[in-house]
Structure 1
């Protein structure tokens, strides 16, 4: 029987330390993705995106186990975040301006055909069980190219991230002679639906150039 892979234990990208920004080089990586906009606390699409991503991700996991004999723990939920004015994150916290993409990583040994098969199977199961995948028509598989990144571990509520992000963009990145090179990226090591805000563990990542 094959060993179940836990990417949080095997991949450097899922490891970070609080109180410091580490430089990391990331390969191009495939994800299941759903785009959206607005305050994640209030817009229905945010929850609907999660309710769509996970059934497909678990279908893909079982497909991997059955087709390749390779089992794994479904990776942590991730998100890309941006706005026309980045002070919406660092100063004003105007969440109505936020744009986002929620994502779940696709293991590198799985192909586009595997993902298509999993999406079709998840859709059929949802139709049979009358448990719809609310944003299945907006779900896509795509490759994320980030390259050089700086990342840190944040412990606490999401609203407490503002000071960390301000320090990163206003001090750390300029001091390194770099510029932001992509969208702000968060990896949710804790299930924020079940974890108290002060105990949430989130990797904050910024691609740079």
Structure 2
């Protein structure tokens, strides 16, 4: 009888990264590897849907490549960086800026055992099966280090995040912290299956 190998679950293995409170709090994060894809434009535009499709195709390619080596894992929650042109100070006007001017980078964090070779082989398999999907190597394998962050849990629509963000800004001011990175969202809920008012999203900002 074959032994059942349990899938590695990053959300359970790293609660420091995924655990969140409804009040602003400080977290210190290590550098992590992610699959990433970036672009610019409205969150509901075709380039965004294409980018998400590319990201998940490669993520599952990496998963099955690792599974063949007895290192199966659950594909982690998707995340997104959102920002507008300008430095950290400009980001305070992020929610007031037309969405067509938003820059974005979607991410899926990878377990520590995933290496560049797993990523390369996964991309080659996706290219073979669907060459039009990632013809220009849009998806990257990237090390990101946010370090010290402020985060909070937002419940509800993505379009109604401003009051939650203001709580974070007030917390930063009280603790003499300033933004040092992009608006970061971790999507704990699947918007295709979850009512809008029940969506759970971690909002995170790197600070200094």
What's the Cα RMSD here?
1.6
Aligned length: 200
Instruction: Name the residue aligned to 1:78.
Output: 79
Listed one character per residue, the Cα deviations across residues 49-96 of structure 1 (whole Å, up to 9, x for unaligned) are 1111111101101111112x1111100000011113435434x25212
CA apart distance, 1:39: 1.2
**What SS does the corresponding residue of 2:137 show, helix, strand or coil?**
helix
Please, which runs of 5 or more residues in structure 2 have no aligned partner? none
Q: TM-score, normalised by structure 2?
A: 0.90
Q: Specify whether residues 136 and 166 from structure 1 end up closer, same or farther in structure 2 by C-alpha distance, changes over 3 A only.
A: farther
Instruction: Name the residue aligned to 1:188.
Output: 187
Matches within 5 A, 1:113-192: 113-127=117-131, 132-133=132-133, 137-169=137-169, 171-192=170-191
Q: TM-score, normalised by structure 1?
A: 0.89
**What SS does the corresponding residue of 1:137 show, helix, strand or coil?**
coil
CA apart distance, 1:25: 1.2
Q: Distance in 2 between matches of 1:45 and 1:74?
A: 22
**What SS does the corresponding residue of 2:161 show, helix, strand or coil?**
helix
Please, which runs of 5 or more residues in structure 1 have no aligned partner? none
Q: Distance in 2 between matches of 1:164 and 1:50?
A: 25
Q: Distance in 1 between matches of 2:192 and 2:103?
A: 20
